[in-house]
Amino acid sequence: MPIDGITSAIGGGLDWSVAAPGSSPIGPAIENDGTSKIDGADGASGGGFGSMLSQQLGNLKDLQTDAAAQSQALATGQATDASAVVMAVEKAQLSMQLAATLRDKSVESFQEVFRTQV
């Protein structure tokens, strides 16, 4: 059973190819005016990496909030299905672990780029 937050964060429906559509494997296509164009990299389109990251962080927040609410309901005796509460908490925990791992790897990669000598 795939977990929606994790599946979409690690590639559910994403294209993991190296070259952007319409570009060579070496780099982006060069337009006639000398500028480069990569599909999805335009900030105005709203479909870039930043919007995807914001959406996934919002999903993570929603999972955490839902798990906390279900835990509170179980503690006060309002929840009837304890297994659903455990699943929600585990789903939130796994999503948080994935987000922390992605953050750590991103920071490590960023630091490695700055250590690279030209």
pLDDT value at position 118?
Answer: 77
Which residues on neighbouring strands pair with residue 30, listed in sequence order? 36
Which tokens belong to 6? 């994790």
pLDDT value at position 67?
Answer: 96
Say if CB 67 and CB 92 are below 8 A apart: yes
pLDDT per residue as tens, the chain (118 positions): 444 544 444 444 444 444 444 544 444 444 555 554 545 445 445 679 889 999 999 999 999 999 999 999 999 999 989 999 999 999 999 999 999 999 999 999 999 999 988 7
pLDDT value at position 51?
Answer: 93
Say if CB 15 and CB 49 are below 8 A apart: no
pLDDT value at position 47?
Answer: 77
pLDDT value at position 34?
Answer: 52
Helix (H) or strand (E) holding 113: helix 82-115
d(CA 118, CA 108): 19
